[in-house]
Amino acid sequence: MRSKAETLQFLHGQLSSATVLPLYCFNLNQWQNQREQIWLDLAELTWTKLPVIVRSSALNEDSELTSMAGHYCSVLNVSGKYALEQAIEQVAAGFQGRTDADQIFIQPMLSQIALSGVAFSQEPSTGIPCLVFNYQECSQDTTAVTGGHSNELNTWHYYLHNNPTPPQSRFRPLLDLVSELQLKLGISALDLEVALLQNGQWVLLQVRPLVLENSLDGSQHLNHMLELQGFLKPMQSPHPFLYGQHTVYGVMPDWNPAEIIGIRPRPLARSLYQELITDSIWAYQRHNYGYRNLRSFPLMVDLGGCPYIDVRVSFNSFIPATLPPALAEKLADYYLKRLVETPSYHDKVEFEIIYSCYTLDLPQRLKALQDHGFSQEESDLLAESLRLLTNKILHQETGLWQKDIAKLEILTQRRETICSADLGPIDRIYWLLEDGKRYGTLPFAGLARAGFIAVQMLNSLVQIGALDPSERSLFMQSLDTVSSRIQRDFQAMNRSDFLKIYGHLRPGTYDILSERYDQAPDRYFGEAIQPTVHPPFSLRLEQLKLIRSHLQEHGLNLDVLELFDFMKAAIEGREYAKFLFTRNLSDVLEEIAGLGRQAGMSREDCSFLDIQSLLRLLNTSGDLNQAIKHSVEAGKAQYSLTQSLLLPPLITQPEDIWQFELQPGEPNFITLKRAKGPVCFVGAAPESLKGTILLIPSADPGYDWIFGYGIAGLITLYGGVNSHMAIRAGEMGIPAVIGAGEVLYSQWQKARELELDCATRQVRVLA
């Protein structure tokens, strides 16, 4: 087996698709005993007169079992004999448990670089056969991507092998290089570091075997992808009962499944989310609140087990029911076109793309429509429809959000009745879900809509100059949500009483494998820190007058205090509704776990169940245990397919599944504060969280416990500007980056220390 340096020596001058730089290599024994000869050899090489890079080539680097990537140091831009000797000693000192056979090699330092990065011949986590290229534009530091220490933005490019679409011409030579290396080295799974020079020449900097945990049948995967492409073809066609000439599928718009259940959820979590929200409840709520009737349309589609939102359906559901069909059609096409042109808005569609309610800055925002072929009359008609809809929702006496809050009390009462009744497990699951929908997720969806309107209204007060950003933050900190009550009650109550109220919560709300608070209290709770006391929020007299005049001018039928009461109640009510309906859901998960035990199934097995397979057993005499086993087997087969899929977060046309890029998005910065600290991840002991920048995958309410331990800042992979964690961070006054996206999250999780500067909307890698 060749070392890293020996592999590059072997490939030097042998590749047609890329260049391998010349190199000079020696081992530690030679450096100790033949140093004069090494200096003589180096003096003979013309390229050593220019800056060089000194690199390691340890015996345990780049093996078929372990890469040790990034474990040893390299020294860049070395000039002169003294500096070169110091650099060699630095690299030599970095070898741990070193042997005389460990090598050091020297190469010319690259310049005129257009981009550099790391490429894989297979997706490292899943083994999916595709080119994965993580690169940085115009980076003169070829270690920037591998080291994770750069504040530059990385891009991920994916191209599935053997697919029917041609690759981007820019990356065709890189694909040729991978094929050439596979042939010459006799290894199919490769990890390589490359650079593209400004003259178009590719340079191979390093190649090693890619250590994979999973292998995949390439032909079977290709068949699955072809089936998926066939399923997606109708997305480019009109639908007789929908506005918009085509659709788009996304994991983050609207009821963003990526945030709630993840991009590859197990069948039980996915089917529960469909049952409770995305099959019908979501549409009933929208129609009740004055939007178009989409009650026959599921919102979420299943792409090989990966949940996606049908964006055309979503955008139709935000169109006021009173809007004329011609204008509704034009508006739907505009919304879809805007999303395709600005995909970074896929987690902010309601704030950046669509118009779903009347706000005090709406006339200014509607001016953008005139640049896209909308007349002033059409803009005015849309504004009037939104004004009528918004007044109906906000009304202090007849507003639907108040009726939704009242329904929550019915949910609490009926849950106690269901849990104490002498019902069989299937009956109990059925009624917990039925009540969970009628008195839980339906009012929750209404309050979530009201919460969105509240946040948009609050933002519009900043836009018109009635509040400044710091006052908006102060208002958010004045909220009294379930999350803040958790922190207070943990301080005031004994553990038993505390868990009776909050014990049903779990970090993965829909995940049967996620332990409830009352199942693992020591994991979630240690010695909490005293809650922060924030100054009260209040309005000055001139602000009251200004806001009152704007409300009257825009025809919004409520006074200033009623507006602020609504904003406070809607945001708090949304969090309370979520807290209550998750009790029913958590009980359902425990009932399913109990059924699984009776059938000889573990929780792991039960995670592969489809909830419909259980609900079909209601009022039947079928073999329950056999039905569970069949559903688990089918779910495992389905999930095996799901794990083999690598799909873009936004699918704008069927061909997108074969080749796509993940660009750094625009995350949501919460508060105007700054924080810095060491990077920490969920799973660490609670007492170790103090002063850290905590990274978590989602904005799920089950993570509320983290706020009791003095974290300095928060970053989530998924989540929108109005997500639970965004509201919670604003309420607590904790600097947060919500919905960083895969590119930025992947980059920041490599860091040891980060600084969040929310006022300037920046995250800096400190170490």
What mean pLDDT do residues 588-599 have?
95
Q: Residue holding tokens 């599935």?
A: 160
Contact (CB, 8 A) for 460 and 386: no
Sheet holding 674-681, edge to edge: 668-670, 736-738, 713-716, 693-696, 674-681, 753-757, 762-765
- How high is the pLDDT of residue 100? 86
In DSSP terms, 131 is beta-bridged to: 159
The packing angle between helices 400-420 and 376-394, to 10°, is 50
Contact (CB, 8 A) for 92 and 28: yes
Looking at every residue in the chain, the average pLDDT score rounds to 88
Q: Is the pLDDT of residue 767 over 90?
A: no
What mean pLDDT do residues 88-109 have?
88
Extended beta strands in 188-285, E state: 190-197, 202-209, 249-250
**DSSP code, position 291:** B
* Tokens describing residue 418: 């269901």
For residue 512, the surrounding DSSP H or E stretch is none
What mean pLDDT do residues 284-311 have?
95
What mean pLDDT do residues 461-465 have?
94
pTM, rounded to two decimals: 0.86
**What DSSP line would sit under 640-692, residue for residue?**
HHHHT----SEESSGGGGTEEEE----PEEESS-EEEEEEEEBTB-GGG-TT-
Q: Is the pLDDT of residue 485 over 80?
A: yes
**DSSP code, position 529:** P
Domains of the chain, with CATH numbers? Answer: 22-109 (3.30.1490), 482-506+523-533+664-767 (3.50.30.10)
More confident of the two residues 51 and 720: 51
Contacts with 377 (C-beta within 8 Å, 6 or more apart), sequence order: none
Q: What is the pLDDT of residues 666-677, one digit of tens each?
A: 777 888 788 888
Distance CA 756, CA 737 (A): 8
* Tokens describing residue 541: 């007299």
How many C-beta neighbours within 10 Å does residue 723 have? Answer: 24
Residue 659's Cα: distance from chain center in Å? 20
**What DSSP line would sit under 549-569, residue for residue?**
HHHHHTT--S-HHHHHHHHHH
Catalytic residue list contains 724 = yes
Which one of 221, 246, 550, 724 is the catalytic residue?
A: 724
Q: What is the pLDDT of residues 270-289, one digit of tens each?
A: 999 999 999 999 999 999 99
- How high is the pLDDT of residue 148? 42
- How high is the pLDDT of residue 744? 83
Contact (CB, 8 A) for 338 and 248: no
Q: What is the pLDDT of residues 487-511, one digit of tens each?
A: 788 888 998 999 999 999 988 899 9
Q: Is the pLDDT of residue 388 over 60?
A: yes
More confident of the two residues 515 and 605: 605
Q: What is the pLDDT of residues 218-254, one digit of tens each?
A: 778 888 899 999 999 999 999 999 999 999 999 989 9
pLDDT confidence tier of residue 210, bands split at 50, 70 and 90? confident
What mean pLDDT do residues 151-172 have?
82
- How high is the pLDDT of residue 145? 47
What mean pLDDT do residues 83-88 have?
94
Q: What is the pLDDT of residues 12-62, one digit of tens each?
A: 999 999 999 999 999 999 999 999 999 999 999 999 999 999 999 888 665
pLDDT confidence tier of residue 685, bands split at 50, 70 and 90? confident
Q: What share of the chain is helix, strand, coil (3-state, %, to 5)?
A: 50, 15, 35
* Tokens describing residue 292: 């178009």
Contacts with 361 (C-beta within 8 Å, 6 or more apart), sequence order: 459, 460, 463, 464
More confident of the two residues 138 and 12: 12
For residue 705, the surrounding DSSP H or E stretch is none
What mean pLDDT do residues 579-603 have?
95
Q: Residue holding tokens 């020294």?
A: 75
In DSSP terms, 119 is beta-bridged to: 133, 192
More confident of the two residues 74 and 611: 611
Q: Residue holding tokens 């981009």?
A: 115
* Percent of all residues in the chain with a pLDDT value above 90, rounded to a whole number: 61
Q: Give the closest residue to 674 by CA, choosing from 750, 748, 734, 727.
A: 734
Lowest mean per-residue pLDDT among 337-341, 399-403, 650-654: 399-403
Sign of CA dihedral 596, 601, 606, 608: negative
Residue 575, by phi and psi: left (phi above 0), alpha (psi -120 to 50) or beta?
alpha
Q: Is the pLDDT of residue 146 over 50?
A: no
Distance CA 25, CA 7 (A): 11
